[in-house]
């Protein structure tokens, strides 16, 4: 579909704050709840103080590592870019041709209103997420779809 040496003619970056802040807050909140659940279970067991402290420390280290790994994966995902080629849009391993696009209407949820972003589900499981509203991506996609259909 994409020639190996073709360079994208447009690169769209996600809003990093919209992609990262909610994910980090959620991961930290869930990590705290998980650790509190571990502490509750430990308090119900009859363990001596040394064993209980060791298990608490191991559980804390485990929870911190899981949260840290989740945050690292979120940073990696937030750095991914939407690459626009002559006939295709690519994001990570997913790609869609302009002719396959069925929807260009942006949708917003509460977090999108807070961060000034939107999401566009263009069809076939391809979703533009964390797109700044100032770019007016819906109209741009519509023009690309019309151009691609006229080229046929």
| pLDDT of 5 | 84
pLDDT-derived band at 124, boundaries 50, 70, 90: very high
Residue 33: pLDDT over 70: yes
**Length in residues, the chain:** 152
| pLDDT of 126 | 96
| pLDDT of 1 | 64
pTM of the model: 0.87
Strand, coil or helix: what is 84? strand
Average pLDDT estimate for 42-52: 93
Contact indicator for 135, 12 with CB cutoff of 8 Å: yes
Average pLDDT estimate for 45-59: 95
| pLDDT of 152 | 67
Residue 50: pLDDT over 80: yes
Dig out the tokens for 65 from the structure: 């590592």
Residue 60: pLDDT over 70: yes
pLDDT-derived band at 4, boundaries 50, 70, 90: confident
- List residues bridging with 120 in a β-sheet: 128
| pLDDT of 68 | 98
């Amino acid at each position: 579909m994409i020639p190996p040496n073709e360079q994208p003619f447009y690169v769209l970056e996600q809003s990093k704050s919209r992609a990262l802040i909610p994910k980090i807050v959620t991961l930290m909140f869930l990590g705290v709840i998980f650790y509190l659940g571990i502490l509750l279970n430990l308090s119900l067991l009859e363990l001596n103080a040394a064993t209980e402290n060791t298990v608490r420390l191991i559980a804390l280290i485990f929870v911190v590592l899981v949260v840290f790994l989740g945050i690292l994966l979120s940073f990696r995902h937030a750095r991914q870019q939407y690459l626009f080629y002559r006939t295709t849009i690519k994001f990570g391993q997913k790609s869609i041709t302009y002719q396959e696009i069925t929807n260009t209407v942006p949708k917003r949820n509460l977090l999108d209103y807070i961060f000034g972003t939107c999401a566009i589900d263009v069809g076939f499981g391809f979703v533009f997420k964390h797109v700044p509203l100032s770019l007016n991506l819906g109209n741009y996609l519509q023009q690309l779809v019309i151009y691609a259909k006229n080229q046929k």
